[in-house]
């Protein structure tokens, strides 16, 4: 489904949630009549208006596209230039080949609204805006803007201009381009098959099918896709907010923090519903439909709340205006992170001398992945530097934002190695202590009366478990977390036998010790899963993310109950550990399939190539824009019924070789699919 349809759904739900109230002074998007020009601002004289009409009709006769032009004083309802233009296009039922140029004469803003499934590429549209429309508007040449837009579209559609994104930036040589196309094409194919819902029916100007007309299977696909895309949007927004907080302080970030927390809350509720759908308890079809519909509604709220703050967030950071300073800051961060890469690789190699591969599976390719992200950052920083030299702050901002996120992911990949090293060392220490305690328990149990042989059976089983555990804690193939899990099981069995000979105080102390060990393991598992999924989220589907979300919630419950109800806390901790383990397994399976789709055999670890683009795809820095749901009018929106895309506000990454690769920014899945238009 085209993303401009998403905007209509967003607007409708927003009005519903707001009680339908609309300010009396607001100016809504206009209605297009038979004329191609709507001039509510009085910008054109009667003769200019006639000339503009004639030129637009000529465009329609000579090409496969139509163009409407609207002049108003201000964009006020909505105030975003993108949303205003896209809403006007949606309300008037414009099709894929039909474009709308919206200009706010007093507000000095403009935007060329385009459907991404139309004949013009995003790069061509950006070129027309930059070269033909903006210069005329800057000179208050209102007719010239119409003629420039028509001339640019005619030239592009007749093949007189190339795609501005083709062959640029970090890719040199036909072989690299062909290889990248094959790999990314395979990746897109499998992920689209897995993650995108089918387009809703409807012709020109039609909206998404009502929920009651969608099959249950389709509704489930749409909800899963929406979960993935909204989770990406939240993760990207959280990272962007961290950048802003570091630069401007907590006070400046407070309003965005509040919006992010609300979105997280809605997302958590949606994941909880998804977990209910995925558990072993059978659900009726009515329940499946109701819960999936509720998931979509919750995610629509999460995204719209972030989207409302996206423009203000961009204004806070002002990357377009402060591109040189921002570029220097990211370059410094890149140098610092790159300096730690060899150290991280050496630490991983050292860990591999002591621990089994399975114990290190979540970080095994982290150095290679970090290197990929830094290569990608280098390509984007170089492109941004070129854009600054050309005076194109908007293009520079997109490259800076992409590089910033790539550097952030590289740092997270490095930190995950040292974090796992700490968790393994602590788990090894805890496991050793628990072995000693269990040996004492075996001695105590062996002295108990045993009329029916139950004590002897438990003692024998515990001794076998201890032998197994010692093997997991010795040699060069240690698995401390697995050892803790085995010891936990043995501990519960023998505790049931000798509980009667312990006093209440000793039992309470024992329960607290066991809880501490289980919480430690659960915390390590949740942390490992979070790091793994965050840095590979371009490949990871809804199942892994759902298990991780539920594991995190269970861990919080365990920690909150630890001092007041150790028994319940233990149950929550065990559940968190189990779910985090499942999340890791699902995520690793997704990444393996993702890599195989690109013809890379065992996943993407260390694949490199294309200026780090493949790593950026795996990291989700650019994946969502590749899969953008066929929607360039507005946002990408939410999956399936809500449009695909997501991942926060987007803009084309410079030098990416075409295809509309974009980085994320603060915002929901409904924030700008294309950072087009601007001020004049």
Angular region, 167: left φ>0, alpha ψ -120 to 50, beta rest: left
pLDDT tens-digit series, residues 440-462: 888 888 887 877 788 888 888 88
What does the pLDDT read at residue 443? 85
Q: Is the confidence at residue 340, as pLDDT, over 70?
A: yes
What pLDDT does 12 receive?
Answer: 37
287 CB burial (10 A radius; 0-12, 13-18, 19+):
middle
CA distance 230 to 549: 13
C-alpha 648, offset from chain centre: 7
347 in Cβ contact with 418 (< 8 Å):
yes
Which range, 18-32, 334-348, 422-436, 612-626, has the best average confidence (pLDDT)? 334-348
- Calculate the average pLDDT of the chain: 79
Q: What is the pLDDT of residues 395-426, one digit of tens each?
A: 888 889 889 999 999 999 999 999 999 999 99
Residues near 9 by beta carbon (within 8 Å), at least 6 away in sequence = 207, 208, 300, 637, 641, 642
Output the pLDDT for position 396: 86
Mean pLDDT, rounded, for 156-163: 66
Model confidence band, residue 8 (pLDDT cutoffs 50, 70, 90)? very low
pLDDT at 103: 94
Residue 98 scores a pLDDT above 60: yes
C-alpha distances (whole Å) from 188 to each of 146, 355, 548, 555 are 37, 35, 24, 34
What is the Cα–Cα distance from 261 to 631, expressed in whole angstroms? 27
Cα-based distances in Å from 587 to 532, 590, 623:
8, 5, 16
State the pairing for strand pair 678-679/109-113: antiparallel
**Residue ranges per domain, the chain?**
31-157, 169-195+318-621, 196-317+622-679
C-alpha to C-alpha distance for 588 and 255, rounded to whole angstroms: 36
Tokens of 446: 């062996």
* Total count of residues recorded for the chain: 680
pLDDT of 602 strictly over 50: no
**Averaged over 567-590, what is the pLDDT?**
93
Q: Name residue, tokens 């060990």.
A: 517
Q: Pick 258 or 630 by higher pLDDT.
A: 258
Report the percentage of the chain scoring pLDDT > 70.
Answer: 75
For the segment 609-618, the average pLDDT, to the nearest whole number, is 74
pLDDT of 32-48, one tens digit each? 878 899 999 999 999 99
Residue 295 has pLDDT above 50, yes or no: yes
Tokens encoding 316? 């806070």
Sheet holding 98-104, edge to edge: 37-39, 66-72, 98-104, 109-113, 678-679
d(CA 13, CA 293): 14
Find tokens 């060329």 and name the residue.
112
Going by C-beta distance under 8 Å and a sequence separation of 6 or more, which residues neighbour residue 174?
A: none
Provide the β-strand partners of residue 100.
68, 113
Q: What is the pLDDT of residue 191?
A: 47
Dihedral of CA atoms 623, 628, 634, 635 in degrees, nearest 10, equals -50
The whole-number pLDDT of residue 433 equals 87
Q: CA dihedral defined by 165, 171, 175, 179, rounded to 10 degrees?
A: -80
Q: Give me the CATH topology for the region 196-317+622-679.
A: Butyryl-CoA Dehydrogenase, subunit A; domain 3 (1.20.140)
Give the per-residue pLDDT at 193. Answer: 47
Q: Taking the mean position of all CA atoms in its chain, how far away is CA 97?
A: 30
Q: What pLDDT sits at residue 320?
A: 79
436 has pLDDT over 50: yes
The gap from C-alpha 384 to its chain's centroid, in whole angstroms, comes to: 23
Contacting residues for 237 by C-beta, under 8 A, at least 6 apart: 256, 260, 263, 306, 648, 664, 665, 666, 667, 668
pLDDT digits (tens, 9 = 90+) for 52-90: 999 999 998 888 889 999 999 998 877 778 888 888 888
What phi, psi does 323 have (nearest 5°)? -55, -45
Please list the residues that pair with 98 across neighbouring strands. 66
Placement of tokens 């191609």 in the chain: 36
**Range with the lowest mean pLDDT among 98-102, 285-289, 324-328, 640-644?**
640-644
Query: What is the reported pLDDT for 310?
Result: 84
Spell out the residues 6+ positions from residue 109 whose beta carbon is closer than 8 angstroms to its own.
75, 81, 103, 677, 678, 679, 680
Exposure string of 432-467, with b = 16+ CB inside 10 Å and e = fewer, is eebbebbeebbeebeeeeeeeeebeebbeebeebbe
Measure the CA–CA gap between 660 and 676, rounded to whole angstroms: 12
Q: 62-65: which pairs have CB atoms within 8 A and are 24 or more residues apart?
A: 62/154, 62/158, 63/153, 63/154, 63/157, 63/158, 64/97, 64/119, 64/157, 65/97, 65/98, 65/99, 65/118, 65/119, 65/120, 65/153, 65/157
Write the CATH number of the domain with boundaries 31-157: 3.10.310.50
- Backbone phi, then psi, for 341, in 5-degree steps? -65, -45
Structure confidence at residue 112 (pLDDT): 92
């Amino acid at each position: 489904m085209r993303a401009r349809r998403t905007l209509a759904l967003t607007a409708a739900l927003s009005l519903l949630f707001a009680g339908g109230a609309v300010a009396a002074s607001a100016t809504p998007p206009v209605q297009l009549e038979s004329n191609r020009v709507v001039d509510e601002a009085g910008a054109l004289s009667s003769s200019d208006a006639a000339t503009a009409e004639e030129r637009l009709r000529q465009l329609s006769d000579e090409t496969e596209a139509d163009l409407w032009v609207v002049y108003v004083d201000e964009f006020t309802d909505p105030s975003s230039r993108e949303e205003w233009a896209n809403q006007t296009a949606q309300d008037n039922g414009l099709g894929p080949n039909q474009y709308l140029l919206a200009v706010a004469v007093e507000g000095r803003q403009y935007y060329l609204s385009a459907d991404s499934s139309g004949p013009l590429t995003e790069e061509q549209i950006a070129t027309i805006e930059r070269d033909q429309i903006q210069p005329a508007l800057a000179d208050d040449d209102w007719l010239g803007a119409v003629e420039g837009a028509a001339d640019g579209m005619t030239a592009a559609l007749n093949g007189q201009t190339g795609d501005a994104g083709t062959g640029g930036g970090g890719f040199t040589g036909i072989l690299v381009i062909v290889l990248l196309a094959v790999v990314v094409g395979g990746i897109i194919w499998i992920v689209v098959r897995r993650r995108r819902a089918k387009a809703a029916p409807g012709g020109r100007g039609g909206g998404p099918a009502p929920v009651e007309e969608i099959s249950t299977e389709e509704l489930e696909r749409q909800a899963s896709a929406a979960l993935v895309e909204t989770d990406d949007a939240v993760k990207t927004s959280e990272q962007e907010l961290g950048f802003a907080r570091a630069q401007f302080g907590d006070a400046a970030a407070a309003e965005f923090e509040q919006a992010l927390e609300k979105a997280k809350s809605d997302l958590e509720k949606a994941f909880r519903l998804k977990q209910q759908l995925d558990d072993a308890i059978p659900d009726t079809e009515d329940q499946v439909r109701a819960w999936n519909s509720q998931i979509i509604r919750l995610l629509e709220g999460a995204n719209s709340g972030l989207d409302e703050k996206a423009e203000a967030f961009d204004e806070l950071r002002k990357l377009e205006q402060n591109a040189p300073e921002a570029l220097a800051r990211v370059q410094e961060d890149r140098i610092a992170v790159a300096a730690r890469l060899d150290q991280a690789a050496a630490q991983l190699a050292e860990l591999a001398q002591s621990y089994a591969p399975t114990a290190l599976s979540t970080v095994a390719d982290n150095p290679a992945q970090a290197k990929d992200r830094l290569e990608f950052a280098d390509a984007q920083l170089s492109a941004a530097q070129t854009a600054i030299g050309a005076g194109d702050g908007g293009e520079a901002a997109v490259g800076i934002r992409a590089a910033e996120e790539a550097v952030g992911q590289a740092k997270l990949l490095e930190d995950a190695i040292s974090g796992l090293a700490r968790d393994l060392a602590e788990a090894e220490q805890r496991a050793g202590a628990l072995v000693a305690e269990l040996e004492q328990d075996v001695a105590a149990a062996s002295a108990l009366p045993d009329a029916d042989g139950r004590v002897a059976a438990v003692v024998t089983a515990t001794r076998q478990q201890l032998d197994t555990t010692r093997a997991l804690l010795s040699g060069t193939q240690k698995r401390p977390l697995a050892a803790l899990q085995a010891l936990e099981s043995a501990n519960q069995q023998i505790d049931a036998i000798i509980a009667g000979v312990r006093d209440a105080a000793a039992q309470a102390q024992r329960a607290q010790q066991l809880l501490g060990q289980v919480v430690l393991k659960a915390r390590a598992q949740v942390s490992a899963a979070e790091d793994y999924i965050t840095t590979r989220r371009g490949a990871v589907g809804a199942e892994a993310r759902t298990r991780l979300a539920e594991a995190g919630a269970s861990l919080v419950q365990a920690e909150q109950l630890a001092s007041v109800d150790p028994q319940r806390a233990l149950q929550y901790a065990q559940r968190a550990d189990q779910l985090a383990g499942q999340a890791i397994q699902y995520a690793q399976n997704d990444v393996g399939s993702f890599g195989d789709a690109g013809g890379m055999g065992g996943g993407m670890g260390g694949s490199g190539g294309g200026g780090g683009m493949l790593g950026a795809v795996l990291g989700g820095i650019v994946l969502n824009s590749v899969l953008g749901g066929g929607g360039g009018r507005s946002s990408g929106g939410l999956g399936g019924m809500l449009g695909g895309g997501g991942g926060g506000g987007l803009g084309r990454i410079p030098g990416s070789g075409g295809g509309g690769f974009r980085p994320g920014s603060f915002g929901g899945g409904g924030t700008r699919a294309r950072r087009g238009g601007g001020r004049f």
